[in-house]
Amino acid sequence: MSLRDDSKPDTILTHAGRDPHNNHGVVNPPVYHASTILFPTVQAMEDAQKRRFFSMTYGRHGTPTTFAFEDAVAKLEGGWKAIAVPSGLAAIVGAITGFVSAGDHILVTDNAYGPTRKYCDDALARFGVATTYYDPSIGAGISALIRPNTKLVFTEAPGSLTFEMQDIPAIAKAAHARGAKVVMDNTWATPLFCKPFDLGVDVVAHAATKYIVGHSDAMLGIIDCTEETYLTVRNAVALLGYSAAPDDLYLGLRGLRTMGVRLRQHQQTALALATWLKKRPEVERVLYPALPDDPGHALWKRDMSGASGLFGFVLKPYSHKAVANMLDGMELYGMGASWGGFESLILPAHMTRTAKPWDAKGPTLRIHAGLEDPDDLTKDLERGLERLRSTNE
């Protein structure tokens, strides 16, 4: 379905990646389960193979369901073309791998998603690629860390545990001046609230498992590229053997249709909870760039049009037993990995930092504000904080 170039984000979310006229009038693209693709002639097969990433050649390289999801995300985010993969980590691995070889060096923000760090420290190190972690607040100062063999700078704004913002345009300008590519993990803000290509980013990675799917029932990733970077990343993904599952792609497409409505409620609830937590005597500080007094607020306001429902807060010094008592009794907040679904989550935030140690004196917790009533979520938190306090007394 064609869209005008000036279409607004909610219109893109509703219509991008749809083609009902070529699908018997079906509103959302159907699920194609396919491995083998048949061709009527040798010439037709050879023509398709020359365009293997742009046409149907083999199920692993994409089906109409795949292409619909990829086109919808690229249209929303402003990329040239996107690549669907089986998970958020697969998106990060695919986005990095095509640009590096043995002997190369990359720079990675110190507040990156834990599995990103593990991939760099374990897999990349074994293949001879060195990683240096940098202070998320470094901005243009990153130029001092760029070496002759630095091929890539990896950014994440805000970080998924400590929520520092990064000056992405300044980092991109410094990296490009030295010939390095810039990759950004944009899972927190989604393609709706942040347009990384406008900030100078070359490749964007998403855990579509989170807000794009939005229902905690599918594993999915997406890599969005410029025209210049697309084939480099696409070839890397093909060599890694990544292929997003057709049913998960369908759930990703379905989730996109309501992402705008969901994210605005996630944001509204998160802001209400974060503001309430700031006033609590048990809380040392709240980590959410949408708050006016957050250190990253100015960068967030400049570079993003909204905030998601994920944020953190630092407690005053409390024992492990007190924190466990608080969390074990939560009624509405689940404890579990991931986020971005309709349900609220809370869990301790355990992070590894090497470039800039995390200076919190008390435990750090992370909340995902779901779609429940904010008053009910506040009351559940209040009861939890009372258990926390009474355990320490």
**Which amino acids are annotated catalytic?**
60, 113, 185, 210
CA 130/CA 168 separation, integer angstroms: 22
The burial of 239, by beta-carbon neighbours within 10 Å (0-12 exposed, 13-18 middle, 19 or more buried), is given as exposed
* Cα–Cα nearest to 174, from 209, 210, 134: 134
User: Six-digit token pair at 42?
Assistant: 């040798």
The burial of 214, by beta-carbon neighbours within 10 Å (0-12 exposed, 13-18 middle, 19 or more buried), is given as buried
CB 248 within 8 A of CB 222: no
| Beta-bridge partner residues of 345 | 334, 368
User: Six-digit token pair at 126?
Assistant: 């074994």
User: Six-digit token pair at 206?
Assistant: 């998403």
Question: Biggest alpha carbon distance in the chain?
Answer: 79
Terminal C-alpha separation, the chain: 62
Between strands 364-368 and 345-348, the pairing is: antiparallel
| Beta-bridge partner residues of 329 | none
User: Six-digit token pair at 361?
Assistant: 């004196």
* Conformation bin of residue 166: beta by default, left when phi > 0, alpha when psi is -120 to 50: beta
Backbone angles phi, psi at 5, to 5 degrees: -65, -25
CB 323 within 8 A of CB 363: yes
CB 169 within 8 A of CB 200: yes
